Amino acid sequence: MFSGSIVALITPFRNGIIDEEAYRRLIEFHIENGTSAVVPVGTTGESATLSIEEHNRVIEICVDAVKKRVPVIAGTGGNSTWEAVELTRHAKEVGADATLSVTPYYNKPSQEGLYQHFTTIVKETALPMVLYNVPGRTSINLLPETVARLAEWSEIVAIKEASGSLSQMTEIQVKCGDKIVLLSGDDAVTLPLLSVGGKGVISVVANIVPRNSSEYVNAWLSGDHERARDLFLKLFPLCQAMFIETNPVPVKTALAMMGWIEEEFRLPLCPMAAPNRNKLAEMLRQYKLL
């Protein structure tokens, strides 16, 4: 259902509120440059610091701006199952094509709890779901055995895998086959993931270089593996630079330097330390983005 370079959109702010005009410009930038789908209010979209009203509004803006030209995979996860259900219902009502649903954070459920969490959401909403496993942020790991159980549900169509373990990602592919689409949740491991059957990436770096990201992923999927490898290796240092500090601080700083947005974050996120900011600026100059 999903493949290619999918962008985990940042949420731009101006004077403390959502900058709708900048957001719409960014969405056009992605559609014009080969992004295959967009993800509003995921981790990179600072979902954890948006109010429910803001969260819903960002999805509404995104759906309206996209106008069905590419799929919208709305971030609607949460550590409360019923809050995630309500966010997903809203996303469905306003026309999102699917949802990105992160493993519940902080409360650390068992694997059975994770299974019941995700199946409750799909039973209550019947909207295609992309699972999101990112144990570095949530303190819980969605294991391959549980993914295989969840893949039996027709509404659960893909997983964004950001465990950092290629072994775990490969095991998911072995256990699930074509029942679920395997997507990279970390730009730096996308090419290895593609080599074991992955179909794409939900990308941070695509926020600033959507064409570059889509080119190497599409090259791999079309069978031009040597070109894909060359393009990926060229992009790799920029992928690393997006994590000099906690995501999305570097990528939003980069977009601000490039003139796309104001350099604003929601506390507890804050501007980059000067040495890291200088390193980021130098990297952008190397890629001729400044």
pLDDT in tens, 223-236: 999 999 999 999 99
Closest CA to 247 of 188, 199, 289: 188
Residue range 209-226, pLDDT digits in tens: 999 999 999 999 999 999
Query: So which residues are the catalytic ones?
Result: 132, 160
Q: Is residue 175 part of a domain?
A: yes
| Domain limits for position 168 | 4-222
The C-alpha atoms of residue 130 and residue 24 are separated, in whole angstroms, by 24
Is 269 part of any domain? Answer: no
Let me know if residue 63 belongs to a domain: yes
79-109 confidence digits (pLDDT tens): 999 999 999 999 999 999 999 999 999 999 9
Number of domains in the chain: 1
Task: With a cut of 90, say whether residue 8 has pLDDT above it.
Answer: yes
pLDDT band with cut points at 50, 70 and 90 for residue 48: very high
User: Tens digit of pLDDT for each residue in 166-186?
Assistant: 999 999 999 999 999 999 999
12-to-19, 40, 178, 263 alpha-carbon distances in Å = 5, 11, 36, 8
Domain assignment present for residue 246? The answer is no
Q: What is the DSSP letter of 106?
A: S
pLDDT tens for 266-280 read: 999 999 999 999 999
CA dihedral 205, 229, 211, 204 (to 10 degrees): -10
Give the per-residue pLDDT at 1.
76
Domain contains 250: no
The CATH number of whichever domain residue 168 belongs to comes to 3.20.20.70
Please give the mean pLDDT across all residues of the chain: 97
At 165, is the pLDDT very low, low, confident or very high (cuts 50, 70, 90)? very high
Q: Which amino acid is at 102?
A: V
The model's confidence at residue 260, banded by pLDDT at 50, 70 and 90, is: very high
The answer to the question of residue 111 being in a domain is: yes
Position 228 in a domain: no
pLDDT bin (cut points 50, 70, 90) of residue 9 is very high
At residue 138, does pLDDT exceed 80? yes
Q: What's the mean pLDDT in 7-30?
A: 98
- pTM for this predicted structure: 0.96
Three-state secondary structure call for residue 14: strand
Interval 112-135: pLDDT, tens: 999 999 999 999 999 999 999 999
| Residue 229, domain member (yes or no) | no
